[in-house]
Amino acid sequence: MKQTKTRTLVECGLMVALAMVLSFIPIFEMPMGGSITLCSGVIQLLLGIKNVMVCKTIWAAIGCILLDYLIAFTVIGLSCVFSHGWKHRLLGIGVGTAIAGLIRYLCSFLSGILLWGQYAPEDMPVWLYSLTYNGSYMIPEIILTVIVVVLIMKKFPRGSLNQ
For residue 4, the tally of other CB atoms under 10 A from its CB is: 9
Residue 143 exposure: Cα atoms within 13 Å on the Cβ side: 6
Inter-residue contact 140 to 148 (CB < 8 Å): no
Give the tens place of pLDDT for each residue, 107-118.
Answer: 889 888 877 788
Lowest mean pLDDT among 30-34, 41-45, 104-108, 158-162: 158-162
> Residue 19 — φ and ψ, nearest 5°?
-60, -40
**CA dist., res. 30 & res. 36, Å (int):** 9
| Residue 12's pLDDT band (cuts 50, 70, 90) | confident
Give the tens place of pLDDT for each residue, 62-96.
Answer: 655 556 666 777 777 777 777 777 888 888 889 98
Inter-residue contact 48 to 163 (CB < 8 Å): yes
**What's the pTM value of the predicted model, to 2 decimals?**
0.61
Q: How far is CA 158 from CA 3, 151, 152, in A?
A: 16, 14, 11
**CA dist., res. 101 & res. 50, Å (int):** 19
More confident site: 145 or 52 = 145
State the pLDDT at residue 68.
67
Q: Which domains, from first to last, does the chain contain?
A: 5-155 (1.10.1760.20)
User: How large is the average pLDDT for residues 22-39?
Assistant: 75
**CA dist., res. 93 & res. 28, Å (int):** 25
